[in-house]
Amino acid sequence: MKTATVSLIALMWTCVNIQIAAVHQRDTDHFIQAIQQIEDSSLEVSPLSIVRSLRRAAGHDNAFTQSFLGAIDSDSESDILKTNHSRDIEAWSLEFLRFFDKAIHNFVTDAREERGVVLTPDGTTVALAPLLQGIEAGLKARSQGLHPQDLHLLTLARTLGLSFLHAYNTSSAERLGPDGCWDNITAPMVFKLLGAPSLATDALINGGMDGALLGVRLSEGAEPHPKLSELLQSYYHFQLGEAGLDKAPRLVSPRRRENYRKLVPPSLLEETVLKFLEDRHPSEELKKAVKEGVQDFVLRYLDCPPMIPRCQWGAQTPKGIPVRLSPPLRFLYIHHTEIPSSPCLTFHQCSRNMRAMQRFHQEERGWQDIGYSFVVGSDGYMYEGRGWGRQGAHTRNHNAFGYGVAFVGNYSASLPTQHSLNLVRHRLAKCAVTARFLQANHTVQGHRQVVAGTTCPGDALYSEISTWEHYREAESPNATAS
Ligand SMILES: *[C@@H]1O[C@H](CO)[C@@H](O)[C@H](O)[C@H]1NC(C)=O
Ligand SMILES: *[C@@H]1O[C@H](CO)[C@@H](O)[C@H](O)[C@H]1NC(C)=O
Ligand SMILES: *[C@@H]1O[C@H](CO)[C@@H](O)[C@H](O)[C@H]1NC(C)=O
Ligand SMILES: *[C@@H]1O[C@H](CO)[C@@H](O)[C@H](O)[C@H]1NC(C)=O
Ligand SMILES: *[C@@H]1O[C@H](CO)[C@@H](O)[C@H](O)[C@H]1NC(C)=O
Ligand SMILES: *[C@@H]1O[C@H](CO)[C@@H](O)[C@H](O)[C@H]1NC(C)=O
């Protein structure tokens, strides 16, 4: 830690005009700004020298990392860091260092606060350490002959391997996740996990996927490499137009899961995780545990659509005692919200819509909670309503038999983005069947088919879902629900 302090302070010395805000928010915006200030201060600071300095601050400059990326001291590039430092500069450099340390050094406190993570504009949370490792590996891939598989091992497979091993050793049920929520999504400072932590929290997994994706992009891209701040900016801070993700660049954060699935097929991931454990001479039983762990990972992080949890969009607690469902259910009922009538294209907009709908359902309708089980934004995400366990208030007289999924917008005359249609048609349904929330032979229906007097989910959307494989004509759930 001492040497890390010295080299970062030295690095800061090169940044003469850095203005440090008194309070550092834990979001990509502030992190990118800090990186930008380093870049602006000196033309000689290469992306590689920045990520190498931050590797130390992250506390992951260990033997394993060094075996892939090399030791920092032996590298001549770090010479630019060996400049002079004075007492004056040390005071504010320390504050800068504290920022990087808090922003990058990943661990979970006893109070289940996860550190070393930042909120991204799409509403997900990312651990910076594996992200930066992936970028560093990508920048060096050519010169060091790193194989893409090494990159996956470094960014994610090792995390999964350690977590599966630990869960196996301790007979713990937690081998993946959980996600968490920020204290305040406009000024995030504290990230609290939603349950007992595994060694592979959602933020580490998100950061590991992003690190691999950006690393591979850098290893394939032409030199000179883009500035680090530009790379992160284009991946996390892009603006979606009306067409949502349908017209967005390929390499943007809401596409994390689909991109990662293309990059690392499940069989390769399993092979890489097993390779990591090779030195430990795993027993057959442990290998089996790893296989199950990878299957669980594929289900939760690749098959299932990305979901913004209730606490993250700012849900109020339900009023009254919820009615439990008894999955697997037979029906998926499709809705449009009609109001809000415009598709939501950002995390903040979709979250505002969720809060408004919940307020309306609780206060005007007198329901316990937002009526829908799940809501689909056009930002690439689904939003958790009542979820898989609790009965909703979406489809009169049918709420016990199915889940209600609503697309934000008015789809009487136009369709949701292809991307959000696919999330429900392919991702959500597959996820729910594998996890046994929905029956394999479930039926998809529009709200209007089973409740008289509504045009929901709108003419356009209704005619779209009538082409889906699980769509069926009206039938009474009572006929077979014993
Ligand atoms: C160290 O700092 C002094 C004054 O602040 C400067 O004149 C000198 O060039 C610096 N040395 C290096 C190696 O940057
Ligand atoms: C699992 O147990 C083995 C042997 O008992 C030990 O060497 C290893 O450090 C443990 N690993 C974890 C991640 O708990
Ligand atoms: C979040 O932080 C912002 C800026 O400090 C503040 O205006 C807002 O009231 C906070 N929101 C909540 C829910 O505390
Ligand atoms: C939804 O769109 C249809 C067709 O464009 C329109 O007739 C209807 O008034 C809209 N509903 C609302 C609530 O805006
Ligand atoms: C659907 O599957 C369930 C059990 O998996 C079975 O009981 C039911 O008869 C099937 N329904 C149809 C319509 O095939
Ligand atoms: C199904 O049966 C229940 C209980 O008999 C009844 O309350 C409900 O209205 C019925 N639903 C439909 C769609 O027939």
User: Could you give the domains of the chain?
Assistant: 3-303 (no CATH), 318-465 (3.40.80.10)
- Please write the tens of the pLDDT for every residue from 109-138: 999 999 999 999 999 999 999 999 999 999
Instruction: Give yes or no for a contact between 419 and 246, defined as CB atoms under 8 angstroms apart.
Output: yes
Percent of the chain with pLDDT over 90: 71
pLDDT at 246: 97
Instruction: Give yes or no for a contact between 405 and 456, defined as CB atoms under 8 angstroms apart.
Output: no
Percent of the chain with pLDDT over 70: 87
CA distance 269 to 263: 10
User: For 55-59, 116-120, 261-265, which range has the lowest pLDDT when averaged over its residues?
Assistant: 55-59
> Residue 473 pLDDT > 50, yes or no?
yes
pLDDT, averaged across the chain: 88
Instruction: Give yes or no for a contact between 57 and 100, defined as CB atoms under 8 angstroms apart.
Output: yes
> Residue 78 pLDDT > 70, yes or no?
no
355 lines ligand 2 (CB under 6 A): no
CA dihedral 447, 315, 232, 139 (to 10 degrees): -90
Residue nearest to atom 2 of ligand 5 (CA): 441
CA distance 219 to 152: 13
Ligand nearest to the CA of 443: 5
187 lines ligand 3 (CB under 6 A): yes
When pLDDT is cut at 50, 70 and 90, the band that residue 79 belongs to is very low
Q: Determine the distance separating the centroid of ligand 1 and the alpha carbon of 85, expressed in angstroms.
A: 8
> Residue 304 pLDDT > 60, yes or no?
yes
478 lines ligand 6 (CB under 6 A): yes
HEC string of 413-477?
CCCCCHHHHHHHHHHHHHHHHHCCCEEEEEEEEEHHHHCCCCCCCCHHHHHHHCCCCCECCCCCH
Residue nearest to atom 5 of ligand 5 (CA): 439
Helices (H), 245-335: 256-263, 266-277, 284-297, 310-313
Q: Determine the distance separating the centroid of ligand 2 and the alpha carbon of 368, expressed in angstroms.
A: 46
pLDDT at 82: 40
Q: Mean pLDDT, to the nearest integer, of 229-244?
A: 95
When pLDDT is cut at 50, 70 and 90, the band that residue 14 belongs to is very low
> Residue 156 pLDDT > 90, yes or no?
yes
- Please state the pTM of the whole predicted model: 0.88
pLDDT at 477: 67
Q: Determine the distance separating the centroid of ligand 4 and the alpha carbon of 339, expressed in angstroms.
A: 9
Residues 6 or more apart whose CB falls under 8 angstroms from that of 384 comprise 307, 308, 309, 310, 313, 374
CA distance 393 to 51: 50
Q: Determine the distance separating the centroid of ligand 4 and the alpha carbon of 68, expressed in angstroms.
A: 57
Residue nearest to atom 8 of ligand 1 (CA): 84
17 lines ligand 3 (CB under 6 A): no
Q: Mean pLDDT, to the nearest integer, of 39-55?
A: 78
CA distance 309 to 440: 25
Atom nearest to 410 CA in ligand 4: 1
Ligand nearest to the CA of 188: 3
